[in-house]
Chains A and B, each alone.
Chain A
Amino acid sequence: MKLDDVPQDTSRSFDGQKKRLYALNADGEYTAALSSGWEAEDVVLDQAIEEYNRFSREARQRVQQGLASPLEYHMYAHRMDVTVLAQATGFFRWQVRRHLKPTVFKRLTPRKMQRHEEAFHMTAEQLRTLPPEDKPQND
């Protein structure tokens, strides 16, 4: 890649940042260059994020229909899946899968609940409720 070919597509995801790439200058010597983003990268990043957003939207519906516990929504909103949440809490995956059921989640002991609180950095109260729709919950 030559310096002139370093993409400057001002990617939204960079948040004004630039990232460093290695490219050839006019003399054919490698030099570090700054890129404000590449469209091809944006496409695949958007795709990955949209997949999590779709999961959390679907989870929200299931929670509202009483088919899933709010934990399922929070899991996807935090870009996790059952495997990642199991690792973060130290539960087995089958346990996490059970916690995604509303009846089981409601009766979780404070000790088990605490492990979820620590993994999400949220209070039990927050975990038991769905946040309002327009506010993306990723913190």
Chain B
Amino acid sequence: MTTLPRWADLGLIPLLNLSLAFLVSGLVVAAIGEDPIKAITVMIQGAFVYDGSLGYTLYYTTNFIFTGLAVSVAYKAMLFNIGGEGQAYLGGLGAVIVCLALDSILPAILLIPLAIAGAALFGALWALIPGWLQAYRGSHIVITTIMFNFIAAGMMVSLLGGPLQRVGQSSPQTRNIGEAGQLPFIHDIGRAMGFEATTTPLNLAFPLALLACLGVWVLIWRTRWGYALRALGHSQPAAVYAGIPAQRMIVVAMLISGALAGCMAVNEILGAQHKMVLNFTAGYGFTGIAVALMGRTHPVGIILAALLFGAIYQGGAELNFEFRTITREMVLLIQGLIILFSGALALMFVPWLGRALRRG
């Protein structure tokens, strides 16, 4: 394996991948007869400059931080958790059950922590079975977590069309949760403090996500458990030699990973939508894989990568709005290209760059 200096590994490689993604996207835009330069300007302005755009960008970023962290924690033990989507979905179920049951009884100060715990718990439990199967039965985690995404989706269809469905409604969604279960919006906090603020879905889940990053960093790099996890991920024989209980570590790593994915629902359900709708996870769990890979599974990298993906989501929506020819599908294509180059092909440049740097 080629090893690169740290600056090239962490700085140059992501930059190169991103540039290539934008270059190819630009070619696509040019091919349908639009000006790529104008398109990228609209995208950047749409993500950061227009009124309220930053709020939307950070709101998307919050989702990506949670799902990206989830993938990272499992990845440290060399487990590829593809099930973030399903775990987030179940997280939503945990949060919404707590809220629907208790929002008329408990005050916000009790209900919200309880609902967050519910999201984390349900997400964790959904990752427990694949984790246990991997640790004690050798079933491949990639296969089981993918299957569990489907099971989660099927289960939620029946729940949202059945017992959880809002009374007297035909759309598959729950009733709105009471105010006690709603995380405050940042614009409301801003206005209360006397600032003018545009209404956006950005809410207190965002600082919570940043806290989660700090928590994961401490867990992985500063606790003895994190040390054991990293040893296990790098070398199973060495971990066994060191007396690290590999099977238990795998299960616990998956529990934490699932809990983090489940917390994505905190942003969507407690923060923004205040109800659970069908498919509210909208692929954030899958994109989390790309976020984690691009962020090199380090919390700081994940914040940056999540911000990038948040900006692409928000800027992409703006693109769709400004250019009639750039349809929703085109925007998806551009997002897909970025995921392709920075996720799936993340290591494409490594051998070439390694050679170039050695020569230079």
Q: Do A and B bind each other?
A: no
